[in-house]
A and B are shown apart, each in its own frame.
Chain A
Amino acid sequence: MNNYPETPMHSLKKLATILMLFLLFFFIADFLVAYFLGCGLKKYYGIENSAQILVNGASQVMLAVDKDLIERETGMRVAKYTREGVNISDRELMIHHFFSEKKSSAKIVVYGVDQFLFTDEGMSENSYTIFYPFMDNKEISDYIHTYTKEWYVYKIHQYIRCSRFDLYLVNSAIRGFLGDWSNKKKGEVNISSLKSNIANGSVRKINSKATNIATFQKTMQFLESKNITVVLLYIPYVDILENNDSKMQETKNIFKKYSSDHPAVRFIDLTYPASSEHSWYFDPNHLNPKGQKELTEIVISELKKISK
């Protein structure tokens, strides 16, 4: 024991040592928690389960397709890599990401489409943030880097791994571990309030962009290059909204034409019977569990035909 009083330099050294140890401790915990959540998320999206069918899309597809039911009825493993708010570029990246994983062996891709697929307005501008948990992947890292405005935001997510997750991704990770892919959107769409929204003009308008159509074609070409059968699954909006915009048919024709020009691409239009069945909808463009079950049955019969 030395009895000399502590000098400022000693105090500083002590403080620095404590700080370093704390940071080390923090980064280890951060790494372990993020790794654990990452595993759950991969399970949820089916990225590491050597699936034979990949379902890809935004929230409409997420709520319209019942993964468990397809697996039970077809006997094939399904990966449901869907996320709310994703735009067509995000979707392209999701497809690339899925097929960059070693175990990916899908031979059928169910690619969700709708009347707003090529429209930018109304889409989230920061949808790239959903890829944060996978930013160790080079392509995803570059994608995030391109869209991140402030450099330090990118760096924070790069070094503090738990910051890559938000509450919804944590929720998805937990659901992945629990094996819960069920549709929780119970309830029915309020048609009268929707009608008043249409009357007020407060509904989204179709504004297809050529760049988005090109991205779609690029994605299809990528899948064709891998000898994958693509099912373009058209998820309709509730009928009074579906028929509200004359450009809807133009968008649908793009999918029809693409599928007729490419033998490996099929187009399934679910407008009939879904669109007029208001009790199947939770809101104007998302299905509730009842609608999900009905639509999944149709998808299953198509998948069975393809896999024969």
Chain B
Amino acid sequence: MASYFFYLNAQPIYALLLFATTLVTYLGGYLIEKSKTGKWRKLFLFFTVGITILSLVFFKYYYFINQTIFDSLSWIGVRWEFPEVKILLPLGISYYTFQALGYVFDIYHEKIRTERNFGYYMLFVSFFPNIVSGPIERAGNMIPQYKLARSLDYSNVVQGLRWILWGYFTKLVIADGLGGYVDEMYMGVSYHSGLTLLFATILFSFQLYCDFSGYSNIAIGVSKILGFDVMQNFKRPYLFATSITDFWRRNHITLTKWLTDYIFTPLSIKYRNWGNVGLVTAVMITFLISGIWHGAAWTFVIYGLLHGTMLSFDAVNLRKRNKFEKKYGLKNRWWYIGFTGLLTYIFVCFSFVFFKSNSLKDAYIVLIHIFTFPGNLELGGSSARLGFSLATLFLVLLIDYRDEYYPTKFLIFENKFRIIRWSAYILVMLLILLLGNFESNKFIYFQF
């Protein structure tokens, strides 16, 4: 009830769509389990996934498909398009659709049994901390937790509040602080120097990380207070990931796991006889879907394909790379880890040019400016906010470094001395109060 109340409060009419998706996938799962033959199971799976995806395609991609058809037909001199429909993107549609589909796939693959109590399933699809921006959870993890009797637990509350506090800090102080500059520079890319656009792209990578991981941490914290353990979504993706494969193990983890389990693995099994060609095909299709999931625009298609290409390269050369690293004992060399981390990060930033740009033309201008017109670095209208955000970003990177290499040392929020813990809580609270941007109320990943 609370979850539906939360959703109704934001977008009342689309609560019906949420309910319809829940009902269709619930019934689909039930029919798949009850089917005696593989043929019927496949048929019910096909219909359930088809209907669910259709609603996602209509609400999220209608305009994009219409525009693409219109542009393609214009090439051959035909002017035709679908009727214009004014649609507001339903909040969290990509997240709850994937979550509900995960339940159907798990039943199909007999990883879980259907949930008899429709109420628990409704709660799973609409669970309010996760619904708008993930993490994309699994029924096998969440539904058993809903069924456990629980009371308010002090240590859960404390841990949950820590997650929330850190989430608000990264979101309000860093992400929103950097966001003003990034938006200003990406608004009119033609007017800015290459150095400025390069700097804005680097900052965008951190804005995205702090924004999305901030929201995820708040969602994890709220769930923890209520007594539920939700999957982590980020594990220091920038600079610490030593390959693109490693990057996707650390970045938006729940989406990566979803795509791996339900798209990549079935495809790679299907194409297993094709060797490397099959592997590359599976990776490319998976990342094409990942790109399109992020947004209804050609820029996101390119973003997905770029990552697919790099991942394919990684996958095909994995053995050679391992052999090379073993031969020269590179795996634990700090400079090699740093170098590969930097290379990975540079590629990620390159792909973010497409992620952030409003159009392919803008992305092209950004890249041309970066490579041919360095110019001077412009600091924009609010250099003070930018300066404070960069200073606090340094703090986040330090903590990421600690978590990566010394996870049990130099603890701050978890320190055994209360005075240190409390000082840290208060410092972060005061930093949020003093430096937080309370005027910006957008989360980047809400739009997906």
Interface residues of A (CB under 8 A from B): 11, 15, 22, 25-26, 29-30, 33, 37, 160, 162-163, 165-168, 170-171, 184
Q: A168 to B386, alpha carbons, bound, how many Å?
A: 11
Q: Tell me whether B437 and A26 are in contact (CB under 8 A).
A: no
Given A11-B154, A15-B154, A184-B383, A170 and B422 touching (CB < 8 A)?
no
24 A-B Cβ contacts within 8 A?
Answer: A15-B154, A22-B425, A25-B426, A26-B426, A26-B429, A29-B426, A29-B430, A30-B426, A30-B430, A33-B434, A162-B430, A162-B434, A163-B433, A165-B434, A166-B434, A167-B177, A167-B388, A167-B434, A167-B436, A167-B437, A170-B434, A170-B435, A171-B384, A184-B383
Task: Please name the 7 residue pairs, one residue from A and one from B, whose CB atoms are nearest each other, closest first.
Answer: A171-B384, A162-B433, A29-B426, A163-B433, A162-B430, A170-B434, A167-B435
Closest beta carbon of chain B to A57's beta carbon, Å: 20
Contacts of B437 in A (CB 8 A): 167
Closest beta carbon of chain B to A17's beta carbon, Å: 12
Q: A37 to B429, alpha carbons, bound, how many Å?
A: 16
Closest beta carbon of chain B to A170's beta carbon, Å: 5
Closest beta carbon of chain A to B189's beta carbon, Å: 16
> Which of B383, B422, B433 makes the CB contact (< 8 A) with A22?
B422
Question: Which residue of chain B is the closest to A164 with respect to CB atoms?
Answer: B433
From residue 222 to 246 of chain B, which have CB atoms closer than 8 A to chain A? none
Which of B383, B384, B429, B436 has its CB near the most chain A CB atoms (within 10 A)?
Answer: B384
Interface residues of B (CB under 8 A from A): 154, 177, 383-385, 388, 422, 425-427, 429-430, 433-437
Contacts of B436 in A (CB 8 A): 167
Closest beta carbon of chain A to B413's beta carbon, Å: 14
Contacts of A166 in B (CB 8 A): 434
Contacts of B154 in A (CB 8 A): 11, 15
Q: A109 to B384, alpha carbons, bound, how many Å?
A: 29
Q: A170 to B426, alpha carbons, bound, how many Å?
A: 17
Question: Which residue of chain A is the closest to B387 with respect to CB atoms?
Answer: A171
> Which of B384, B433, B435 makes the CB contact (< 8 A) with A160?
B433
Closest beta carbon of chain A to B61's beta carbon, Å: 34
Closest beta carbon of chain A to B85's beta carbon, Å: 31
Closest beta carbon of chain A to B244's beta carbon, Å: 36
A-B contact count (CB 8 A): 39
Question: Which residue of chain A is the closest to B388 with respect to CB atoms?
Answer: A167
Contacts of A184 in B (CB 8 A): 383
The secondary-structure label for the interface of chain B is helix
Closest beta carbon of chain B to A265's beta carbon, Å: 35
Which of A11, A166, A167, A168 has its CB near the most chain B CB atoms (within 10 A)?
Answer: A167
Closest beta carbon of chain A to B356's beta carbon, Å: 23
Contacts of A30 in B (CB 8 A): 426, 430
Contacts of B177 in A (CB 8 A): 167
Q: A166 to B433, alpha carbons, bound, how many Å?
A: 7
Closest beta carbon of chain A to B192's beta carbon, Å: 13
Q: A9 to B422, alpha carbons, bound, how many Å?
A: 24
Contacts of A29 in B (CB 8 A): 426-427, 430
Contacts of B422 in A (CB 8 A): 22, 25
Contacts of A170 in B (CB 8 A): 388, 434-435
Closest beta carbon of chain A to B193's beta carbon, Å: 13
Question: Which residue of chain A is the closest to B429 with respect to CB atoms?
Answer: A26
Closest beta carbon of chain B to A165's beta carbon, Å: 5
Given A11-B154, A22-B422, A168 and B430 touching (CB < 8 A)?
no
Contacts of B383 in A (CB 8 A): 184
Question: Which residue of chain A is the closest to B426 with respect to CB atoms?
Answer: A29
Closest beta carbon of chain A to B302's beta carbon, Å: 31
Can you name 12 extra interface pairs (CB under 8 A) apart from A167-B388, A170-B434? A22-B422, A22-B425, A25-B426, A33-B430, A37-B434, A162-B433, A162-B434, A165-B433, A165-B434, A167-B434, A167-B435, A171-B384
Closest beta carbon of chain A to B391's beta carbon, Å: 11
Question: Which residue of chain A is the closest to B422 with respect to CB atoms?
Answer: A25
Contacts of A11 in B (CB 8 A): 154
Q: A159 to B418, alpha carbons, bound, how many Å?
A: 25
Closest beta carbon of chain B to A258's beta carbon, Å: 34
Q: A56 to B149, alpha carbons, bound, how many Å?
A: 64
Q: A37 to B430, alpha carbons, bound, how many Å?
A: 12
Question: Which residue of chain A is the closest to B389 with respect to CB atoms?
Answer: A167
Q: A21 to B420, alpha carbons, bound, how many Å?
A: 14
Q: A171 to B382, alpha carbons, bound, how many Å?
A: 11
Given A15-B154, A160-B433, A162-B434, A167 and B385 touching (CB < 8 A)?
yes
Contacts of A22 in B (CB 8 A): 422, 425
Contacts of A37 in B (CB 8 A): 434
Closest beta carbon of chain B to A290's beta carbon, Å: 17
Closest beta carbon of chain A to B332's beta carbon, Å: 42
Which of A30, A37, A166, A168 has its CB near the most chain B CB atoms (within 10 A)?
Answer: A166
Q: A170 to B431, alpha carbons, bound, how many Å?
A: 11
Q: A25 to B419, alpha carbons, bound, how many Å?
A: 10
Closest beta carbon of chain A to B158's beta carbon, Å: 10
Question: Which residue of chain B is the closest to A163 with respect to CB atoms?
Answer: B433
Q: A20 to B388, alpha carbons, bound, how many Å?
A: 31
Q: A163 to B435, alpha carbons, bound, how many Å?
A: 10
Closest beta carbon of chain A to B218's beta carbon, Å: 20
Contacts of A163 in B (CB 8 A): 433
Contacts of B388 in A (CB 8 A): 167, 170-171
Contacts of B385 in A (CB 8 A): 167
Contacts of A33 in B (CB 8 A): 430, 434
Q: A31 to B383, alpha carbons, bound, how many Å?
A: 28
Q: A213 to B221, alpha carbons, bound, how many Å?
A: 53
Question: Which residue of chain B is the closest to A21 with respect to CB atoms?
Answer: B422
Q: A299 to B366, alpha carbons, bound, how many Å?
A: 45
Which of B388, B426, B429, B436 has its CB near the most chain A CB atoms (within 10 A)?
Answer: B426
Q: Tell me whether A168 and B426 are in contact (CB under 8 A).
A: no
Contacts of B429 in A (CB 8 A): 26
Q: A33 to B428, alpha carbons, bound, how many Å?
A: 13
Q: Tell me whether A168 and B384 are in contact (CB under 8 A).
A: yes
Q: A170 to B384, alpha carbons, bound, how many Å?
A: 9
Q: A14 to B384, alpha carbons, bound, how many Å?
A: 43
Q: A29 to B431, alpha carbons, bound, how many Å?
A: 12
